[in-house]
């Protein structure tokens, strides 16, 4: 089993990366080989809508754009399970993660009712989200509506509905006094972190294990 984590955060050691690596620990605990790829260390762009991937005289599923993302797309297609991790910026996943998912999903998706995906297998996946917003704020602003489209495409193109993980009310700064952040209560956020962080890490760990078990039983 090979499990790939895609870190869509510009921070390699931030909240998203921390939970992704914990999920990979869980995957490794049940025998998986794991790798985490930091998107913001790469030079790439999103889909350019050239439709090369849908040409009848070309191999479907191949993105013609050649950049740092090219080998990553191949790694994901060869994986047995994949984790997509992103912080939430302005009520959505990061632009880097969106560009990556455009390239991955659109190249695998063809305009055919009979064969919507050319991946050729079921690829278990999970979306791992971290955010400054509380769970109540996320509900109030209907955050799920912003996240649903990519989750829906994942289900269609990867052949199985993705699992979902949310880490709410995360700490943004080590020292809040250095930043203008008066709309937040540093004390309340740190209290929440102290109460819930260990539990959330364990949930991420279990998520990684579940993906391996799902991948082991997937029908190829």
Task: Please name each of the domains of the chain with its CATH number.
Answer: 2-217 (3.40.50.360)
Alpha carbon 44 to chain centroid, angstroms: 17
Worst-scoring range by mean pLDDT, 32-46, 73-87, 171-185?
Answer: 171-185
pTM of the model: 0.95
pLDDT band at 218 (very low <50, low <70, confident <90, very high): low
Does the pLDDT at position 219 exceed 70?
A: no
Handedness of CA 119, 120, 122, 124 (dihedral sign): negative
- Cβ-defined contacts of 145-153 (< 8 Å, 24+): 146/91, 146/92, 147/92, 147/93, 150/93, 150/98, 150/101, 150/105, 151/127, 153/101, 153/105, 153/109
Residue 11: what pLDDT? 95
Q: What is the pLDDT of residues 87-112, one digit of tens each?
A: 999 999 999 999 999 999 999 998 88
Judged by DSSP in three states, 96 sits in helix
Outline where 36-94 has alpha helix (H): 70-78
Closest CA to 42 of 16, 14, 8: 8
Q: What are phi and psi of 93, to 5 degrees?
A: -65, 165
Q: What is the mean pLDDT of the chain?
A: 94
Q: Which residues touch 114 (CB under 8 Å, ≥6 apart)?
A: none
């Amino acid at each position: 089993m090979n499990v790939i984590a895609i870190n869509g955060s510009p921070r390699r050691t931030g909240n998203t990366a921390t939970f992704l690596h914990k999920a990979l620990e869980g995957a490794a605990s049940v025998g998986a080989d794991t790798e985490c790829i930091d998107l913001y260390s790469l030079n790439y762009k999103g889909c350019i809508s050239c439709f090369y991937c849908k040409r009848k005289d070309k191999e479907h599923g191949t993105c013609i754009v050649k950049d740092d993302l090219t080998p990553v797309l191949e790694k994901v297609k060869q994986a047995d399970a994949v984790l997509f991790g992103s912080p939430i910026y302005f009520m959505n996943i990061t632009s880097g993660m969106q560009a990556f998912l455009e390239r991955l999903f659109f190249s695998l998706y063809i305009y055919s009712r009979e064969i919507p995906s050319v991946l050729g297998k079921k690829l278990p996946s999970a979306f791992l989200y971290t955010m400054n917003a509380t769970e109540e704020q996320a509900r109030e602003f209907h955050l799920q509506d912003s996240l649903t489209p990519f989750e829906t495409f994942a289900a269609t193109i990867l052949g199985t509905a993705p699992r979902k993980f949310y880490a709410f009310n995360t700490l943004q700064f080590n020292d809040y006094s250095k930043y203008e952040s008066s709309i937040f209560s540093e004390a309340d956020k740190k209290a929440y972190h102290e109460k819930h962080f260990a539990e959330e890490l364990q949930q991420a760990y279990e998520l990684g294990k579940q993906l391996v078990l799902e991948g082991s039983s997937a029908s190829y």
